[in-house]
Amino acid sequence: MKLWEGRFDAPTAKNADLFGDSLPFDKQLWAVDITASLAHAAMLGSCGIIPLEDAQKICAGLEGIAADIENGKLEIAGAEDIHSFVENELVARIGDAGKKLHTARSRNDQVATDFRLYARGSYDNLCDSLVNLVNALLEKAGQGVKHIMPAYTHLRKAQPICAGHFFNAYAEMFMRDLDRVTASRERANVMPLGSGALAGTSYPIDRNITCEMLEFERPCENSLDGVSDRDFVAEYLFDASLVMAHLSRLCEDIILYSTEEFGYFEISDAYSTGSSIMPQKKNPDIAELIRGKTGRVYGHLTAILTTIKGIPLAYNKDLQEDKEGFFDAEKQVINCVDIMAEMLGAISFKVKRMLTAAEGEFCCATDVADYLAKKGVPFRTAHSITGKIVRTCIENGKTLQTMTADDYREFAPEFGDDIVEAVKGKACADARTSLGGGSADNVKAEIKSLKKRLKRYL
């Protein structure tokens, strides 16, 4: 039965129903729909808008429906949307009292309320997954404390760092995501219920009662905005998109670093795949798939932003398009964050290769220049002398590590015997003790700081 059929002579066309019905996807909102209706009915009863015993009957009926859906006895089908389904079912179970549930309410404020209740849970789930991921990264950073790897600019080797620094960088990104998700959740936690169709209601409702029961921060203060605001959907999708961007960057690094060409990381067999034709292949499919899914989540963000951009106040059916992208993005982002946390545990370091790479391609040249500058040579001069050393090494097939102290002194008298130690990968990385730098000590301190910051979310 349609909730609104009284005004109509003829039923809607079958295809119009198929096209417009949202039940196939909004049935996911059944639990929050019932939760919101329980609060609404209780408020109607306590404000004397409907008799208390009707409110009690409604609540008992709704609880019965919830229990039956929960244990699989009641199939959600045969209605336009989840709101109609629950109301029809309630009336079928308790009769006329059920017909009073929708007093002082519209599906417009109902769906906006349901979806915010649902989104709160989505934010909480994403938070939990992100905490788990940051922990996995910190674990990896801890394992990387004693190892050295090259860091890059322009995808050309630049300077050696402690390997833990790399993982902490990603932990920082996901920490920001946690902060963002938490702030977005706060903004989403405002209650539209009581906005009615668009202009509020003439019944003496008490929105503070429902607000408290549903644990919202406050009731919204403008009914037109209340029924039509979907910022929280866009914000979730943006937050999810940025999480995906960070994951995708991490995937790209993992893919590169696990190639034969780089060879710093090994992804265990459990998280790799083979080829149906090339027997030698071991492919990083999981990382590639996460990178691929990023596009899909961005797509949902673009979709909601485009959907809401031309909507006149207040509710329009366009807004029904807010759900499917959200549900899909939620599923994708949680899956991706969780599988990444798992896969990180399956990545091992190829320690020798990392160190060789960190010392190769004259990665320690900055340290040679810094060595001279610390002895009083102006940095620009030191830079130029080091440039000459690099050029001579290239011409003679030497490296900064195979040069002797005497070789160095041919370029500048300031070089002492300790230059030989100073150009080793580990010494170069560990020399970067400035706050936020890539030394092992800093990595340990940052792990501590991140763990402390993470406590807010435990």
* Residues carrying an active site annotation: 154, 275
Among 319, 363, 365, 377, binds ligand ARG (CB under 6 A): 319
Number of residues that bind ligand ARG (CB under 6 A): 10
Q: Which is nearer to ligand ARG, 145 or 311 (CB)?
A: 311
Q: With CA atoms as reference, report the closest residue to 81 among 139, 15, 21, 14.
A: 21
Of residues 318 and 414, the one with the C-beta less far from ligand ARG: 318
Using CB under 6 A as the binding rule, whether residue 315 contacts ligand ARG is answered as yes
Provide the mask over 108-127, with x wherever binding to ligand ARG is found by CB under 6 A and - wherever it is not.
x--x----------------
Pick one of 40, 57, 100, 107: the residue that binds ligand ARG (CB under 6 A): 107
Between residue 64 and residue 93, which ones bind ligand ARG under the rule CB under 6 A?
81
Piece of the chain touching ligand ARG by CB under 6 A; list 54-62, 104-112, 135-143, 236-244: 104-112
Give the interface segment with ligand ARG, choosing from 58-66, 288-296, 317-325, 443-451 (CB under 6 A): 317-325
- 107/147 with CB nearer ligand ARG: 107
* Least distance CB 278 / ligand ARG (angstroms): 49
- Which of 42, 79, 423 minimizes the C-alpha distance to 209? 42
Q: Which residues of 152-189 are buried (b: 16+ CB within 10 A; e: fewer)?
A: eeeeebebbbbbbbbbbbbbbbbbebbebbbebbeebb
Min CB(64)–ligand ARG separation in Å:
23
Q: Which is closer to ligand ARG, CB of 107 or CB of 426?
A: 107
Q: Find the helix packing angle between 323-344 and 285-308, rounded to 10°.
A: 160
Query: At its nearest, how many Å lie between ligand ARG and the CB of residue 16?
Result: 13
Work out how close the CB of 239 gets to ligand ARG at its nearest, in angstroms, rounded to a whole number: 22
- C-beta of 107 vs 300, nearer to ligand ARG: 107
Confirm or reject binding of residue 258 to ligand ARG (CB under 6 A).
no
Q: Looking at beta carbons only, is 108 or 366 nearer to ligand ARG?
A: 108
CB of 81 to ligand ARG, least distance (A): 4
The mark string for 196-235 relative to ligand ARG (x by CB under 6 A, - otherwise) is: ----------------------------------------
Given a contact cutoff of 8 angstroms between Cβ atoms, the answer to whether 384 and 392 are in contact is no
**Which part of the chain contacts ligand ARG (CB under 6 A), choosing from 182-190, 314-322, 376-384, 398-406?**
314-322
Q: Does 442 bind ligand ARG (CB under 6 A)?
A: no
Q: Which is nearer to ligand ARG, 111 or 355 (CB)?
A: 111
Closer to ligand ARG by Cβ: residue 257 or 315: 315
Determine, following the binding rule CB under 6 A, whether residue 161 of this chain makes contact with ligand ARG: no
Question: How many residues in total does the chain contain?
Answer: 458
Span from 38-46, 128-136, 212-220, 313-321 in contact with ligand ARG (CB under 6 A) = 313-321
Cα 386 to Cα 113, 196, 368, 369, 400, distances in angstroms: 66, 74, 6, 6, 10
The minimum distance between CB 179 and ligand ARG, in angstroms, equals 30
Q: Which of 12, 143, 320, 335 binds ligand ARG (CB under 6 A)?
A: 320
Q: What is the 3-state secondary structure (H, E, C) of the chain?
A: CCCCHHHCCCCCCHHHHHHHCCHHHHHHHHHHHHHHHHHHHHHHHHCCCCCHHHHHHHHHHHHHHHHHHHCCCCCCCCCCCHHHHHHHHHHHHHHHHHHHCCCCCCHHHHHHHHHHHHHHHHHHHHHHHHHHHHHHHHHHHHHHCCCEEEEEECCEEEEEEEHHHHHHHHHHHHHHHHHHHHHHHHHHCEECCCCCCCCCCCCCCCHHHHHHHCCCCEECCCHHHHHHCCHHHHHHHHHHHHHHHHHHHHHHHHHHHCCCCCCCEEECHHHCECCCCCCCCCECHHHHHHHHHHHHHHHHHHHHHHHHCCCCCCCCHHHHHHHHHHHHHHHHHHHHHHHHHHHHCCEEECHHHHHHHHHCCCCCHHHHHHHHHHCCCCHHHHHHHHHHHHHHHHHHCCCCCCCCHHHHHCCCCCCCCCHHHHCCHHHHHHHCCCCCCCCHHHHHHHHHHHHHHHHHHC
Task: Kindly state whether residue 22 participates in binding ligand ARG, applying the rule CB under 6 A.
Answer: yes
Q: How far is the CB of 116 from ligand ARG (least distance, A)?
A: 13
Range in contact with ligand ARG (rule: CB under 6 A) among 8-16, 55-63, 69-77, 316-324: 316-324
CB of 117 to ligand ARG, least distance (A): 14
For ligand ARG, the binding residues (CB under 6 A) are: 22, 26, 81, 107-108, 111, 315, 317, 319-320
